[in-house]
Amino acid sequence: MATAAATISSANLRRPNPFTIYLKEARYEFLKCLRVPMYSVSTIAMPIMFYVLFGLVMGRQMIGSVSATAYLIPAYGTFGVMGASLFGTAATLASERSMGWLQMKRASPMPPFAYFFAKIVMSMTFSTIDVMLLLLLGFTFGGVHLPAIVATKLALTLIAGSIPFCAMGLAIGYFAGPTSAPAVINLFYLPMSFCSGLWMPLMFLPKFIQHLAVFLPPYHLSQLAFRLIGAGNGQPNLGHWEALAGFTMICLGIAWVGHLRDQKANG
Amino acid sequence: MSISQVLPISRRQISIPQPVARLEAVSKSYGNVQALVNFTFDVRAGELVALLGPNGAGKTTAIKLLLGLARPTTGRVSVFGGDPASVATHTRVGAMMQVGRVPETLRVGEHIDLFSSYYPNPLPMAETLAIAGIENLRDRRFGLLSGGQKQRVLFALAICGNPDLFFLDEPTVGLDVEGRHMLWDEIRKLLALGKTIVLTTHYLEEADALANRIAVINKGSIIAQGTPSEIKSRTSGKKIRCVTQLGIPVIKNLADVLDVQAERDAMVIHTRNAENSLRALLSLDREVSGIEVTSAGLEEAFLALTRDRN
């Protein structure tokens, strides 16, 4: 009965376990997005479809020293992770922010970071599904052979690569409106993917794009992944990690400015 | 404070010397717009206080300040003697806000499960559903609900944590008459449990049906405060509409007339006492036609209240 609960004095209020809240928040964020076909189907289907068309169907030529089917796992893996993370954070944040739902959450005792934590975990989960499906297709139909340790490192690198794009998604989500968000995301997502060599190896792209690529985060993530299978530009990993870390910080900074701007506008 | 107001506190073994929530000389401006002006307001334990006012009067701003979603430009806001924005305060507060859209693909039960997990002593799910009257909606996706059902789910989210203090921002907006009365019953149940409730509304009828105390707000200030009967007695004027040859200055001097306005070919007379004013009017002008007498609405009530103040 509610009356029984009401007799508990404020002194012995126990706090709910924050760990439980974070997990529950993440689980429901995942369910929420899984049930939106626009998100769940397109973030999984797009990279898989590209891989089937350009990797499995188009034939078995070599790109540098590796087969196209192997080469395209890091490439479309990066593409998939980027899509899952950008749409998973920016699109949901933009809509929840503008419709008052974020405000409703802020009025509740939800730990403030649980909200963002949930979006990141959700994005990483979809990223994991993408990467696993690509590896599975590569192993079964693409004739790709990778030692287990390499495959594991490849998967973990790509999944960790979700974080910079979640940060970028938050930055976009705080400035884009609910209806414009998907368009704004695509304006970044598709050109960045192309210019980073995710659709077509960089060596086949014009020189100026090759110079531009070093400024793009998907380029750095894909290079980390390429290196694991013996492809890529062969530059040391540290620079790529640094570039991604720096990009993450810049995006979080922009997101923070957007957050403060919202706070000010609302109160 | 009367004994009845103190009782629910001692029953809950919490001793709070000050009111449960307080706005102290608060001003709040958004750019050039003054939403609240030197606003002082207390919420006492166990009462249901209604903030009554038209759209844009500052009701929602007051609620946002009490929820810590907005900071006052000047003045002080405290809830349970502490910072209204802190998580500790929020665990004792439930809020029903005007939300444009709630994630639509989650089921009602899932939304409640998540919100319940934020609180230290939430109600059992079955009880939350029962109080909000939505037992049969547990497995329904939010996006598939009707407007009234959505409103009840938002109410369920406000109560599921079993907090001591509720902020209900226009809880019955968009509901039909039946839905409104059902939600009123649910709000009364909370009050019976000794909860404290702050409710905003622009329906005088709603404030009258529920509140122990009404604060009438207009343009960011409290213009009247008291029990529903006190407020009503100050606003129980009538409106007479008629066609007459008498001029405005003459009508103004008739018995009990508060205000006169010409509306096309007719006169609209606000009066404290329709019978007295009509008798006077008829004795001066036997040709009066098209007489309509209606109760003064909230709009007239505000006019009357602001005039009282000036």
More confidently predicted of A121 and A234: A121
Distance from CA of A258 to the nearest CA of B (A): 16
CA separation for the pair B35, B63 (Å, rounded): 12
pLDDT of residue B210: 92
Distance from CA of B118 to the nearest CA of A (A): 5
pLDDT of residue A44: 93
CA separation for the pair B21, B77 (Å, rounded): 8
Q: With contacts defined as CB-CB under 8 Å, which chain B residues touch A20?
A: 117
Q: Is B115 on the interface with A (CB under 8 A)?
A: yes
In this predicted structure, the answer to whether residue A3 has a pLDDT above a threshold of 50 is no
Q: With contacts defined as CB-CB under 8 Å, which chain B residues touch A96?
A: 103
Inter-chain CB proximity B127 and A3 less than 8 Å: no
pLDDT of residue A13: 53
Inter-chain CB proximity B105 and A13 less than 8 Å: no
Distance from CA of A43 to the nearest CA of B (A): 17
CA dihedral A13, A18, A23, A24 (to 10 degrees): 30
Residue type, A90: A
Ranges of each domain in chain A: 16-266
Size of interface A-B (CB pairs under 8 A): 115
In this predicted structure, the answer to whether residue B258 has a pLDDT above a threshold of 70 is yes
CA separation for the pair B303, B301 (Å, rounded): 5
In this predicted structure, the answer to whether residue A14 has a pLDDT above a threshold of 80 is no
pLDDT in tens, B106-115: 999 999 999 9
More confidently predicted of B10 and A69: A69
Alpha helices in chain B (DSSP H): 3-11, 59-66, 87-90, 108-117, 125-132, 147-159, 177-192, 204-210, 228-235, 248-252, 274-284, 298-309
pLDDT of residue B300: 61
In this predicted structure, the answer to whether residue A146 has a pLDDT above a threshold of 80 is yes
Distance from CA of B278 to the nearest CA of A (A): 50
B223 contacts B309 by C-beta, under 8 angstroms: yes
Domains identified in chain B and CATH numbers: 3-233 (3.40.50.300), 236-309 (3.30.70)
Alpha helices in B92-146 (DSSP H): 108-117, 125-132
User: CA separation (Å) from B58 to A70, A200, B27, B186, B223?
Assistant: 62, 57, 11, 26, 12
- Residues paired with B29 in a beta bridge: B34
Q: Is A238 on the interface with B (CB under 8 A)?
A: no
Token pair, residue A145, equals: 């052979």
In this predicted structure, the answer to whether residue A196 has a pLDDT above a threshold of 80 is yes
pLDDT of residue B178: 86
What rounded mean pLDDT belongs to chain A?
A: 90
pLDDT of residue A71: 92
pLDDT in tens, B83-121: 999 999 999 999 999 887 889 999 999 999 999 999 999
Q: Is A62 on the interface with B (CB under 8 A)?
A: no
* A238: Cα within 13 Å, side-chain hemisphere: 0
- When pLDDT is averaged across residues B241-248 and rounded to a whole number, the result is 90
Q: With contacts defined as CB-CB under 8 Å, which chain B residues touch A7?
A: 11-13
Look at residue B226 and give its three-state secondary structure.
Answer: strand
Q: Is A179 on the interface with B (CB under 8 A)?
A: no
CA separation for the pair B246, B132 (Å, rounded): 55
Interface test with B, best of A104, A119, A263 (most B CBs within 10 A): A104
Q: Is B166 on the interface with A (CB under 8 A)?
A: no
* Phi-psi domain of B115 (left: phi exceeds 0; alpha: psi -120 through 50; beta: other): alpha
pLDDT of residue B179: 86
Q: Is B150 on the interface with A (CB under 8 A)?
A: no
Inter-chain CB proximity B99 and A99 less than 8 Å: yes
More confidently predicted of B84 and B297: B84
Res. A52 pLDDT band, cuts 50 70 90: very high
What rounded mean pLDDT belongs to chain B?
A: 86
More confidently predicted of B30 and A247: A247
Q: Tokens 């307080």, residue?
A: B22
In this predicted structure, the answer to whether residue B250 has a pLDDT above a threshold of 80 is yes
More confidently predicted of A1 and A162: A162
Q: Is B33 on the interface with A (CB under 8 A)?
A: no
pLDDT of residue A112: 87
Inter-chain CB proximity B90 and A8 less than 8 Å: no
Inter-chain CB proximity A6 and B164 less than 8 Å: yes
Work out the percent of chain A whose per-residue pLDDT is above 90: 74
CA separation for the pair A176, A188 (Å, rounded): 13
In this predicted structure, the answer to whether residue A4 has a pLDDT above a threshold of 50 is no
- Which chain B residue has its CA at the smallest distance from A12's CA? B120
Inter-chain CB proximity A266 and B12 less than 8 Å: no
Residues 41-60 in B contacting A (C-alpha not used; CB under 8 Å): none
Which residue of B28, B115, B121 is in closest CB contact with A108? B115
Q: Is B157 on the interface with A (CB under 8 A)?
A: yes
Distance from CA of A95 to the nearest CA of B (A): 8
Query: Among A150, A185, A145, A143, which Cα is nearest to A166's?
Result: A185
pLDDT of residue B13: 46
Res. A8 pLDDT band, cuts 50 70 90: very low
pLDDT in tens, B263-293: 888 898 888 888 889 999 999 888 898 898 8
In this predicted structure, the answer to whether residue A191 has a pLDDT above a threshold of 90 is yes
Inter-chain CB proximity B95 and A98 less than 8 Å: no
pLDDT of residue B235: 65
* B119: Cα within 13 Å, side-chain hemisphere: 29
Token pair, residue A108, equals: 């509740």
pLDDT of residue B4: 42
- Which chain A residue has its CA at the smallest distance from B167's CA? A107
In this predicted structure, the answer to whether residue B237 has a pLDDT above a threshold of 50 is yes
Q: Is B164 on the interface with A (CB under 8 A)?
A: yes
Helices B108-117 and B125-132, axial angle in degrees (round to 10): 120
Look at residue B301 and give its three-state secondary structure.
Answer: helix
Q: Is A60 on the interface with B (CB under 8 A)?
A: no
Distance from CA of B217 to the nearest CA of A (A): 19
Distance from CA of B26 to the nearest CA of A (A): 13
Q: What angle do CA A180, B154, B224 make, to 5 degrees?
A: 105
| First-to-final CA distance of chain B | 29
pLDDT of residue B53: 86
pLDDT in tens, B172-224: 887 888 888 989 999 999 999 899 999 999 888 888 889 999 999 988 999 88
Res. B305 pLDDT band, cuts 50 70 90: low
CA separation for the pair B291, B280 (Å, rounded): 14
